[in-house]
A and B are shown apart, each in its own frame.
Chain A
């Protein structure tokens, strides 16, 4: 606090709370409870006849109050009236959150009366109100700990607008409190479910005076006097909010302030809350049959934590930035007790749904507004002061001048009057058009370069043909027309260059066979503008498959070819797509067969197999990054190709590895076609760099993913797109953080395909807390698992697989133990296993992770190449996809196929995910297993032959490994294909190839499906139940 508050009364950080606090030192009445209680009622307030019109104009707010006054005030004492007045105002401010606002008006009219009452209550017992209510509601809210978050969040939501408005004009209105309430209630409307009980509570309000203040004091060490209730909330500190109490939040309260709490809550509720918090499984007592059905499973897929967004509505969407916990610890000691990773997962270019695209802003002559000192970009959390002439940076709190052209007057509440025309001041994600200062050279054109292996195995597998066809079909859709450039090199034991000069009729091939001293035979024309040389390129692609169809060369001069491609591309940079079918065998960078010595596995030398063999690859990767070349590796071989080495190229250039073991164009062609097409046509950011900034006192210290660091905190990303995510961990630099909020800002500077240089900026705020329980409560399993996954995979590069798995388990155990210790003192936990609601899936994902391809088992469980390829892939996956891969969906579809009129609209119903246990499989059923990368369609042994016949046509009785799924002329088959298509569309970044398998068809069934039923015990690995027991036992061991 110290730092931020003193300087500026307005308190930039969280727009909402501060203003109030400063304005009204006396705040106590503020308690907000009143409003809360009458949440519904309060909404109504504003609505009264006159209200609606006033809503729109901001300025009117000032004038309107008087009118309002009358209604609310009537019932209550004079003073109190003020608050009510405030209430109405609130609504205007809301514009940023239109949804809530709108809802209120409609609702209000009917309710008319009730609302009033609450205010009256408040008035009468102003100081008191807080606590009582919260506690009063006791019973109903038992449900989820998560809900705890709501109160604060909801409070905040409304506030931003309100506070700003009010604070300036009329400081004297201390009673303004009501506004917060009002707003609160309005916003609440959206959150209704959690607070069903409220209205009824009202009577209780007046009851308990004391508790609240006491708590406050304790919570908010620094400035208790001012605005206490509020500020504490700001901190996101759960405590104050009324709602929280019922939810088991109380338990915490009590722990901390034993004295204060007792009167109200009652210990019973407390324990109840608690137990609901802790999902209890009783391993001790029910040892034999801990019911697997009761264990938590993420059957709804990844649920993004809502608290984050609700608390800070101007934050960017969680698809761009997710924190492992949205409650940042304030001290080193707290960090050391949080055994999970502390950090963020960023997916800067995540695909936004229709209508939510990131707005592009062109400051043109003004230049981009940034903080002078820390270079933060202007964002919704900066505050304007000095009549709009200055703005205060929210990250380093430096006062900056507002450039003349950007100046706008502030309205009475200190908000800029042009706010609604300035998306950068309301939205957490924006894109600035960067002027020339942000370019070291003119923006590069999109550039695609293909390096294609044409040795005999490539020809035989049919890969060349598929690639040539796909590239040709994508020529029209390559981004950046008409500037797009394209070029090709093919290689076997020699390197073939192609002159594609636009004046030629057909490409000229030049062969270079001197591998030791590679040179480029032509200075230019190897890389041509696609729109100019379109014909030549098309001719080339048409003839490519036939050109090499009789090639019997088995060698692969990959290294020299790569160098050649590098030389051609180094002028511009771009994307290099490598299609490699054999182990590089000639020239620099040749690799040898390794990994066939079984004695190495399980020893300390094992990890070397997962590292690049030849330093050439790392050096090359560094050079490629330096020249803005991003590499995607497509590997096809059925034999060992040393993905560990080849993948290094992709890893450090921000690329991706696609691995198609034993590629056969007949079977895998479709997958390659889709994935290559997506790679070529998805929106790509070129020559990008990314940096994440955060507030004083904390620092990002390590980064995990596919990229290379350009400096300590700058990620170089030659080509980045929506399918890549990056994770980072942060640490505290100071032993104690005194601010209440910390801000994060991700900035990605890149060249868009259209040739514009742009900066994409995502801003998010998170509360700083002093309490470990809060951190757990606000944890985000998805982000944690994503970080765990990256850490574990990195660990496999320097340690044994076992060590990586163990360290993962140890961290989960430590975290749960710490959590248990938090509560162990108060409650007799006995043999129950407790964990925060927010982390209920952590154990399962931990299990899934240790059974995932890069980490599972030992030598026999996954091919070396497969392991490495999966590792590279998982290092780049966004959270959602990763979770799906870890806990794939298993869906039963035979019933819906049979249903006469299953329409598209009940698609959701059909897609009911089942637990991944063998018991889920019914031998009369038909199931789809979907992990985001492939479909496995499982035919039960007793599935009616009707269905099988309809779906598979005449060969339904054949061995399914030879059968491919295609549409037959009947309704059922069409429906199945439609279903698969929908599933694929919902997850387009990879193509899911269908594998068919029949029950009992061994070993295929085992390999494809049974191994992946991760809750089952398999070989030496533990099942879900065992795993939970094991973890529980360890948690208790030194608890």
Chain B
């Protein structure tokens, strides 16, 4: 039982990292749009977190699979595949030179991604609470008996 709890706690933190990375990218993009950031800096900032984000998301997905959490795995797998596809087509990084042309699409893409992350995040949170409750309950039970 404690393992389960720890697993969900781990997922919880990974999710937080993913959500914040997504948020950070969006923020950089809107800074760029409002001219608080030049394209060189914006693209370096964003590009520097893209790969870690992909890895983390892939790792989480694998984790779900390995721990036999089918439902969560199925929710996470499309995004992972999408990431993989981007990576293989070498389209995962922002193109500095055309950044303004792609700006709207990139923002949209990241908004959607943020939405997915948030959804997964709430699910993870939910599972975390359940498992925390369960483990607590078990302990209580053990004490009782």
Which of B34-42, B55-63, B111-119, B136-144 sits within the interface?
B34-42
Question: Which chain B positions have C-beta within 8 A of A648?
Answer: 97
* Contact between chains at B38 and A622 (CB < 8 Å): no
Q: Are A709 and B90 in contact (CB-based, < 8 A)?
A: no
Chain A residues with CB below 8 A from B100, complex form:
709, 711-712
- Do the beta carbons of B38 and A710 come within 8 Å of each other? yes
In contact, A621 and B97 (Cβ under 8 angstroms)? yes
Q: CB-nearest residue of chain A relative to B96?
A: A622
- Give B95 Cβ to nearest chain A Cβ, in Å: 6
Shortest C-beta distance, A776 to chain B (Å), equals 29
In whole angstroms, what is the CA distance A708 to B100 when docked?
A: 9
Decide if B95 touches A618 in the complex (CB within 8 Å).
yes
Q: Of residues 685 to 713 in A, which have CB atoms within 8 Å of B's CB atoms?
A: 702, 708-712
Instruction: Tell whether A710 pairs with B96 under 8 Å between CB atoms, given A615-B90, A702-B101.
Output: no
Asked if A619 is at the interface (CB within 8 A of a chain B CB), the reply is yes
Contact of B96 among A619, A702, A711, A712 (CB under 8 A): A619
Number of residue pairs across A and B with beta carbons under 8 Å?
Answer: 34
A648 to B96, CA, bound (A): 13
A615–B97 Cα gap in the complex (Å)? 11
- Interface membership of B4, Cβ < 8 A: no
- By a CB distance below 8 angstroms, the chain A residues around B97 are 618, 621-622, 648, 652, 708
In chain A, what residue has the closest Cβ to B38?
A710
Minimal beta-carbon separation of B85 from chain A (angstroms): 16
Given the known interface contacts A618-B97, A652-B97, A702-B101, the answer about A712 and B38 at a Cβ–Cβ threshold of 8 Å is: no
A residues in contact with B96, CB < 8 Å: 618-619, 622, 708
CB of B53 closer than 8 Å to a CB of A: no
Q: Which of B33, B39, B93, B103 contacts A710 (CB 8 A)?
A: B39
Which residues of B, 35-52, contact A by the 8 Å Cβ criterion? 35, 38-40, 43
- Cβ < 8 Å to B, chain A residues 112-166: none
Q: Assess whether A975 is interfacial by the CB under 8 Å rule.
A: no
Q: Is A840 an interface residue (CB 8 A)?
A: no
- Interface SS of chain B: helix, strand, loop or mixed? helix
In the complex the two chains form, is B38's CB within 8 Å of A711's CB?
yes
Give the CA-CA distance A712 to B99 in the complex, in Å: 9
Q: Does A968 contact B (CB under 8 A)?
A: no
Number of A interface residues in the complex (CB < 8 A):
15
Q: How far is the CA of A626 from the CA of B39 in the complex (A)?
A: 10
Distance A144 CA – B83 CA, assembled complex (angstroms): 60
Q: How far is the CA of A621 from the CA of B40 in the complex (A)?
A: 11
Nearest-CB distance from B47 to chain A (Å)?
10
Closest A residue by C-beta to B41: A626
Question: Distance in Å from the Cβ of A465 to the closest Cβ of chain B?
Answer: 35
Whole-angstrom distance between the alpha carbons of A619 and B35 in the complex? 21
- CB-CB under 8 A from A618, the residues of chain B are 95-97
Give A687 to B45 CA distance when docked, in angstroms: 25
Give A599-634 interface residues, CB cut-off 8 Å to B. Answer: 615, 618-619, 621-623, 626
Q: How many residues of B contact A (CB 8 A)?
A: 16
State whether B33 touches A622 (Cβ < 8 A).
no
B residues less than 8 Å from A626 (CB atoms): 40
**CA A430 to CA B106, docked complex, whole Å:** 39
A709 pairs with B95, CB closer than 8 A: no
User: In the complex, what residues of B have CB within 8 A of residue A621's CB?
Assistant: 97
Considering the chains assembled together, what is the distance between the CA atoms of A622 and B42 in angstroms? Answer: 13
Bound complex: CA of A967 vs CA of B95, how far in Å? 52
Report the minimum CB–CB distance from B53 to chain A (whole Å): 19
- Which residues of chain A are within 8 angstroms of B33 by Cβ–Cβ distance? 712
Expressed in whole angstroms, the Cα–Cα distance for A709 and B43 within the complex equals 13
Q: How far is the CA of A712 from the CA of B43 in the complex (A)?
A: 14
Contacts of A712 in B (CB 8 A): 33, 35, 100, 103
Q: Specify the chain A residue showing the minimal Cβ separation from B90.
A: A615
**Per-position 1/0 for A630-669, Cβ under 8 A of B:** 0000000000000000001000100000000000000000
In the bound complex, residues from chain B placing their C-beta under 8 Å from that of A615 are 90, 93
B102 to chain A, nearest CB (A): 11
In the assembly, what is the distance between CA of A615 and CA of B94, in Å? Answer: 11
Q: How far is the CA of A710 from the CA of B99 in the complex (A)?
A: 10
CA distance A712 to B36 in the complex (A): 11
In the assembly, what is the distance between CA of A850 and CA of B35, in Å? 38
Residues of chain A from 524 to 583 with CB closer than 8 A to chain B in the complex: none
Distance to closest chain A CB from B104 (angstroms): 10
Report the minimal beta-carbon distance from A831 to chain B, rounded to whole angstroms. Answer: 42
Would you give the 0/1 interface string for B60-87, flagging 1 where the beta carbon is closer than 8 Å to chain A? 0000000000000000000000000000
Contact with B along A840-871 (1 / 0, CB 8 A): 00000000000000000000000000000000
The CA of A621 and the CA of B99, in the complex, are separated in Å by 13
> Roughly how many angstroms separate A615 CA and B92 CA in the complex, as a whole number?
12
Give A370-408 interface residues, CB cut-off 8 Å to B.
none
B130 nearest CB across to chain A (Å) = 45
CA distance A626 to B40 in the complex (A): 8
Taking CB as reference atom, which chain A residue is nearest B103?
A: A712
A623 to chain B, nearest CB (A): 8
Which of A623, A652, A702, A711 sits near B35, CB closer than 8 Å? A711
Most buried by A among B33, B35, B38, B96: B96
Shortest Cβ distance from residue A1024 to the other chain B in the assembled complex, whole angstroms? 35
- How far apart are B70's CB and chain A's nearest CB, in angstroms? 36
Per the bound structure, the CA–CA distance linking A702 and B100 in Å amounts to 9
| Min distance, Cβ B71 to any Cβ of chain A, angstroms | 36
Q: Closest residue to B35 on the A side, CB-wise?
A: A711
Chain B residues near A (Cβ < 8 Å): 32-33, 35, 38-40, 43, 90, 93, 95-97, 99-101, 103
Closest 7 CB pairs of A and B: A622-B96, A711-B35, A709-B100, A652-B97, A618-B97, A626-B40, A622-B97
Beyond A622-B39, A652-B97, A711-B32: 8 further Cβ-contacts under 8 Å? A618-B95, A618-B96, A622-B43, A622-B96, A702-B101, A708-B39, A712-B33, A712-B35
Query: Hey, which bits of chain A sit against chain B, CB under 8 A?
Result: 615, 618-619, 621-623, 626, 648, 652, 702, 708-712
Contacts A/B (CB < 8 Å), 26 sampled: A615-B90, A615-B93, A618-B95, A618-B96, A619-B96, A621-B97, A622-B40, A622-B97, A623-B40, A626-B40, A702-B101, A708-B39, A708-B96, A708-B97, A709-B39, A709-B99, A709-B100, A710-B38, A710-B39, A711-B32, A711-B35, A711-B100, A712-B33, A712-B35, A712-B100, A712-B103
